[in-house]
Structure 1
């Protein structure tokens, strides 16, 4: 009988964990989408400077560096998305596992 309480407790904890990770994942995906949109908007608004223009000698390398940093940051965010999806799926599997143990203990 003690096992069923332990199983029920674990099931509830993994259910809560699954929901928390799911919410964090949704927020993270929203942030990633916003970062990509802001990057695209910014670079579409920056005038296309020619190499021969005096200001472009100073601006273009900085823009390239900024773009490289943003791409690296976006890649890290995408990797974090995969990690969160994996954690969410693992939490759900554990929830299902303990749910089945509860059902089997009652039967």
Structure 2
């Protein structure tokens, strides 16, 4: 990850509602949540949530997929893991004393393991 991408991601997460939305999507797993369900969980007006999701989307932290009339939003785990790796790169002065940073690799419901 490059510095500009990290700054964009960290900026996107620097707002309480966006951070809550991203955490809810990470917790929901790779199938994500319908925008309406996310809105209800966060108790946020639809237009406000749309604006926040646009910021997260621009930073590459979330993806969305249309399912008929429903838009389903999910966390981009690859981008999240890249950000974590960027932040922890050369941790402990590169000694490796901390061990490797683990990454989140969720599998879709019903997918074979």
TM-score (norm: length of structure 1): 0.30
- Rg: which structure is higher? 1
Of the two structures, which has the highest relative contact order with CA contacts closer than 8 Å and spacing of 6 or more?
1
Structure number with the higher helix fraction is: 1
Q: Determine which structure has the larger strand proportion and give its number.
A: 2
Give the TM-score, by structure 2 length: 0.29
